[in-house]
Structure 1
Amino acid sequence: MGELRRSGNAILRAVTEIAREFLQNDQWEKNVTSILGQLGRAARVCRVCVFANTTLENGEPAFLLRYEWIAPHTASYLVDSSRWEFGVPYRWKGNTFERWASVLGRGEVIAGPVDHLPPQEADALRQQGVRSVAAVPIFVGEKWWGFIAFDECTHPRLWTDDELDALRSASSILSSALERKRMLDQLEQHTAEMDILSQILRALNATPHVDEAFPRIVKPLRRLTQAERISITLFVENNAAFVVTSLDAPNPKLGKGTRLPIEATSAASDILNGRIHLTPDLAEETDWPAEQLLYRAGYRSRVNIPLTVQDRVYGALNFAWSYPHGFDHVSIPLLQRLADAIALAIERTHHLEREQNRRQEMESLFRTAAALTTNLELEEILEHILNYLEELTHYDSATILLVEDDHLRVQAMRGFEHPEVYMARRYPLEDPYFRRISETGEPILLEDAMADPHFENWDDHYPIRGWLAVPLVVRDKVIGYLTLESRKPGAFGEKETRLAQVFANHAAAAIENARLYRQAVRLNQELEQALQARTLLIHRISHELRTPLTLILGLAELLQSNPEVATLSEPTRQLIANLVQEARHLRHMVNQVLSLKQVEHDPLNIQPIDVRAWLEHTAQVWTPVLAQKDQRLHMDIAPDVGEVQGDRTYLQQVMDNLLDNAHKYTPPGRDIHITARREGDHVLIQVRDEGIGVPPDMLAQLFEQFYRVERKETYQNKGLGLGLALCRQIVERHGGRIWAESEGEGRGLTVSFTLPY
């Protein structure tokens, strides 16, 4: 009995050790074999396997071997030909171990000699050389993730309750590590995607032409998709053909400038209808000329994303891979957002080209009207148009109607007694005059509208005599029309028609500009929201970690303070001390994340602060800390520094963060300096070290959230890169500024900040 209890205690000690490993190391997967080895040796088994649930292509549930450890001295007991293969999915249904899915999925343990298992299961395990097994389920959140199996190969072992409880504890620790890894991987992927999206948007906004921006966006696109071929194809000849306008690929087939008829590709129908086209394996579509060319060039899979703006398809953004299903690991919605941004850039390019031609043609006669296109607020644009038209045509009333979905709606009007009544109305697209304008694209001029049956029911308005309607056209599509009305018959003629058409053309362009502007604003807002969501996600993760972390730290500290700990061996006491230390460090990082939000919103407790007394007190606190690395602290405080107004708690946090960085990145035996002097209406405080320094091109980024200078000298110093970002928030809230200076690597770093008097 004592031996069995010692076995359970040994497993618990191993669990404590791996808990410390998981807490202090986000890269625990690199050492997972060693970690499983600790468990295996403590449990006195010959093999430890971790299996993860997965799904086959047909949707069937399956499982696969994710991690494995085999005891060297017992490897000969295992039969290689019957062992599980890494990464190979085994379906649950119809499998020898199908029963395990229901048992483990309920959270129950399967344990005991294989002779106690159903015959098929026992035979399968015996073929592998297994004599006894303990399979413990792993749950991540509420979801059954997989299971961890402990195999004994030397004798038919019976597992005690203490041992099974210890194995369940190991499963719980592994569950926490997997959940943490999942959140960190998700955060890292989301951050990387947002950074790439930001790079691409900046490149597109930097030039009016997509062809010029394409070389700059290819690299982030390739990093995002791992595609070997990236191209943009645009439709020409009223969508009868497509041309490769931009390309980045090692193989020249289907190269830039290639023109093919629309029926040459299987993707045409989907793209023209605004749908994404996925080709899992080009080998199955070689009947199409375009697909055959790609297949011969060595590509096996492809995705085509339509470039669409307001239901108009310009072409497609295309990716190809040299292996089937290359797009499986790619976020298709993210690619669609990128395609939308490129489509807007193409639309902007086409629009700018059209506007340039219009301005050149009409500048001498209609310079004022052309200036309307510089305004991006739709309501203001329409008001300007009606104002200018009133001056030139002397109408009594005017209306601008635009197509919205399946109806016409009044967007602006002038000269009506109750405009709100008309603005609220919806007019059918079947209106005979709008249908005629849409079909012909030509103005309609009536000398006396009262003679037309269409105007018989206009009793709530003055009698319309002269009436003129001109189309608002964008890309050969009528998006609405402008009407002018007069009480006088024959009030409008050729001159008024020409002027109205000119203003209608500018109105259409300005309306399109405003729509594009709103789309660009919305896209930028989505990007900003995505970046804010990233920060919020990090904050929420930190907030969610704080409660379990506090519990872990409290239990660890309680364990450390237990008098019985003194009776344990020195290595065991050190393990407990390490657990407490690493949990405190993790709590410090979580608190830093939460402090960013707190500093942003909490009111400052402003009080007079004696700068000299404050800094001398700081030096007294930090001198013994620095002495641990044989570092010396030097003070140089000018006699006239006086007092500043500030929040002592937050400003102390600034000094503590700066000195902590100087301490961590300065080698033993070097000096750290604090200086303070008056500069005009500010006090200048500096912390200078003689440490590893920072390359000049990285100085500006030091104060960004989550930024760290990644060098081999910094790997041993763990952190989130929030200390200096927090310093900047605090200093700027006090009306000061903060910056860093360094002459380069190995030349130390000086961080300076100012505070107003």
Structure 2
Amino acid sequence: TELLGFTPEEALQLSFSELVVDLQETPQWAAARAGDSDREAVELFARRKSGQDVCVELTLSRLRTSADQRAYVLAVVRDISERHHAEEERIELIREQLASEESAAAQRRLEVLAEASRLLDASLEYETTLQEVARVAVRTLADWCIVHLLEQNGTIRWLALAHGDPAKEALARELQERYPATEGVTRVLRTGVSEIYSGQRSDADLAARAHDEDHLRMLRELDSKAVMIVPLVARGRMLGAVSLISTRQGRVYRTTDLAIAEELARRCGQAIQNAWLHQEAHAAIKARDRFVSIASHELRTPIARVKGYAEMVLAAHTDGDLTDEMLQRSLRRIDKASDRLTGLVRDLLDVSKLSTGKLPMRLRSVDPTELVREVVGRYQEQLSGTGHLLLDIVGQPGNVSADPERVEQVLTNLLDNALKYSPDGADLRVRVQPKARGVLVEVQDHGIGLPPEAAERIFEPFSRATNAEVRQITGMGLGLYICRNIVEQHHGRIWAGSQGEGSGTLISVWLPELTSLPSAAAAA
């Protein structure tokens, strides 16, 4: 391999213990084999073909196959020699910067980094770990420490807080709950540049910062004398900020303190990023397993019907009992099962194309009214005598830029769902009308409706409303996910509404008119 210099054939002739000599002696290996942990990480030396040692990180994960429940330990090996070298250089630089300070104080600061690294490497539960790191920081770097996290929606929340005085810690927590995120934290999150404040602030300054009397009281009691705020960044992404605060009279944070704080924040950011990546990988594995389970179940049903009716026809023919009526009835059911199978395969192929961003769209000017009228007409013929499908056309909707086959796919899916989730003989209604410089198409059924929390979730892949699953209504939970992607590729919107279970569902699709496409407004 490129890492150790062996060819694939040579590597296959070696045991893993010959490549990483001390692995089997580590508690991480024992825990991974015993299944005590989903993931273990350990840093060791691996032996290259040349005889040289290289520093590697092994991530050990216990896996179990769904077929035979056999357990395996998956080892992912990563070359971290450059990272170790870089960390050693950074620590050496910090040592040089601290050379002019008292050696005992300098040593304690470096011990903070070592202890923080140990905590961060030991667990993927980053929220709990960052709380412990904050407690380590208040031993030497500060009197209290706060870790703020920048959420994906842009909000800021405090994640961890520690204070050397338990009574003051309770007050600091109350401050964060009632008056979160100072201007300094917000500015560091925006600029990505660390900030240092030193010197006692006057009471007038505190009063200017305070929102009310309670806020002013808390600021006075906590009495900050020096502050460092450093960004939490990993792989170029802003994750949050660490604030280190001293209440000691005359304390001044220097560049050496800032170097330690920034290195601490860098390691925290890396730990958060690694934890997120692990969560994403775990979610991907669960999604894959769910996909295999649902797809195999849904594909098995139409295949079993095709095979069952084919065997019945063959048996009747062999016995001389095959009648024209039996043959026609069996062929119709085989045809229906084949249509179901074709639809499932098409959905799976579309999902595959969506995941790679390669779902083709052949756009042209389309009259949505005529397209809806044509699709609804086909369903009206099928429903003759078993229910009613009403079509309302309001006003004169304009043309849209669309792929007619894909829009027809959306309409077909919505009508199939309306029929599937409604009782036999129920009335369905489709309405087409101009709306917000676009065209609004609504499909209303009077079926099982939606629970309050399901209106958005039903558009996620492999997700269905709980009442549909309880009733064991067939479906893979892909149709509406595909519909949303098709509609959004047309610069439109699709959403669901319901008054609750048993009250039916209204699915709305809005597409921008051809003339308004470049700046299409969102439907109200």
TM-score, scaled relative to structure 1: 0.36
Residue 671 of structure 1, aligned match among 427, 435, 446: 427
- In 2, the alpha carbon distance for the partners of 1:549 and 1:711 equals 21
Contact kept in structure 2, 1:274 and 1:308, CA below 8 Å:
yes
Q: How does 1:513-524 map to 2 (within 5 A)?
A: 513-524=265-276
The answer on 1:606 being equivalent to 2:440 is no
Q: Which residue of 2 aligns with 1:507?
A: 259
Residue 341 of structure 2, aligned match among 583, 586, 595: 586
- In 2, the alpha carbon distance for the partners of 1:621 and 1:713 equals 29
- Structure 2 residue runs without a partner (length 5+): 1-23, 45-68, 76-119, 145-195, 201-223, 239-250, 514-524
Residue 376 of structure 1, aligned match among 227, 233, 245: 233
What are the Cα deviations for residues 62-92 of structure 1, in whole angstroms up to 9, with x where unaligned?
Answer: xxxxxxxxxxxxxxxxxxxxxxxxxxxxxxx
Residue 364 of structure 1, aligned match among 187, 195, 198: 198
Deviation at 1:669, TM superposition (A): 2.9
Residue 398 of structure 2, aligned match among 629, 636, 642: 642
Q: Which residue of 2 aligns with 1:660?
A: 416
Distance 1:646 1:379, change over 3 A: closer
What are the Cα deviations for residues 313-361 of structure 1, in whole angstroms up to 9, with x where unaligned?
Answer: xxxxxxxxxxxxxxx9999889xx998322x333311223445674557
Q: Which residue of 1 aligns with 2:131?
A: 349
SS of the equivalent of 2:464 reads coil
Deviation at 1:503, TM superposition (A): 3.0
- In 1, the alpha carbon distance for the partners of 2:127 and 2:379 equals 55
Contact kept in structure 1, 2:463 and 2:477, CA below 8 Å:
yes
Deviation at 1:506, TM superposition (A): 3.0
540-549 or 606-615: which moved more?
Answer: 540-549
- In 2, the alpha carbon distance for the partners of 1:655 and 1:380 equals 40
Q: Which residue of 2 aligns with 1:616?
A: 373
Distance 1:529 1:572, change over 3 A: farther
What are the Cα deviations for residues 557-585 of structure 1, in whole angstroms up to 9, with x where unaligned?
Answer: 99899996895446985667655644542
Distance 1:708 1:330, change over 3 A: farther
Q: Name the amino acid aligned to 1:662.
A: A
- In 1, the alpha carbon distance for the partners of 2:400 and 2:359 equals 20
CA-atom RMSD in angstroms: 5.1
- In 1, the alpha carbon distance for the partners of 2:399 and 2:419 equals 27
Q: How does 1:130-279 map to 2 (within 5 A)?
A: 273-274=27-28, 276=30
Contact kept in structure 2, 1:369 and 1:506, CA below 8 Å:
no
Contact kept in structure 1, 2:387 and 2:426, CA below 8 Å:
yes
Q: Name the amino acid aligned to 1:604.
A: M
What are the Cα deviations for residues 263-296 of structure 1, in whole angstroms up to 9, with x where unaligned?
Answer: xxxxxxx99955545999xxxxxxxxxxxxxxxx
Distance 1:329 1:651, change over 3 A: same
Contact kept in structure 1, 2:309 and 2:330, CA below 8 Å:
no
Q: Which residue of 1 aligns with 2:494?
A: 738
- In 2, the alpha carbon distance for the partners of 1:303 and 1:679 equals 58
Deviation at 1:598, TM superposition (A): 2.7
- In 2, the alpha carbon distance for the partners of 1:273 and 1:351 equals 23
SS of the equivalent of 1:349 reads helix
Give the number of the structure with larger relative contact order, counting CA–CA contacts within 8 Å between residues 6 or more apart.
2
- Structure 1 residue runs without a partner (length 5+): 1-269, 281-301, 312-327, 382-497
Q: Which residue of 2 aligns with 1:688?
A: 444
Contact kept in structure 2, 1:683 and 1:755, CA below 8 Å:
yes
Q: Which residue of 1 aligns with 2:164?
A: none
Contact kept in structure 2, 1:546 and 1:590, CA below 8 Å:
no
- In 2, the alpha carbon distance for the partners of 1:278 and 1:669 equals 58
Q: How does 1:543-582 map to 2 (within 5 A)?
A: 568-569=321-322, 573=327, 578=333, 581-582=336-337
Deviation at 1:540, TM superposition (A): 8.4
TM-score, scaled relative to structure 2: 0.51
Contact kept in structure 1, 2:415 and 2:443, CA below 8 Å:
yes
Residue 485 of structure 2, aligned match among 704, 726, 729: 729
Contact kept in structure 1, 2:398 and 2:438, CA below 8 Å:
no
SS of the equivalent of 1:753 reads strand
Aligned residues: 330
The answer on 1:720 being equivalent to 2:502 is no
Deviation at 1:724, TM superposition (A): 0.9
SS of the equivalent of 2:510 reads strand
Distance 1:732 1:508, change over 3 A: same
Contact kept in structure 2, 1:736 and 1:755, CA below 8 Å:
yes
Q: Name the amino acid aligned to 1:376.
A: V
- In 1, the alpha carbon distance for the partners of 2:358 and 2:287 equals 15
- In 1, the alpha carbon distance for the partners of 2:237 and 2:411 equals 52
SS of the equivalent of 1:655 reads helix
What are the Cα deviations for residues 348-407 of structure 1, in whole angstroms up to 9, with x where unaligned?
Answer: 1122344567455795359999545225269999xxxxxxxxxxxxxxxxxxxxxxxxxx
Deviation at 1:309, TM superposition (A): 9.2
Deviation at 1:725, TM superposition (A): 0.9
- In 1, the alpha carbon distance for the partners of 2:503 and 2:299 equals 41
Deviation at 1:723, TM superposition (A): 1.1
The answer on 1:749 being equivalent to 2:501 is no
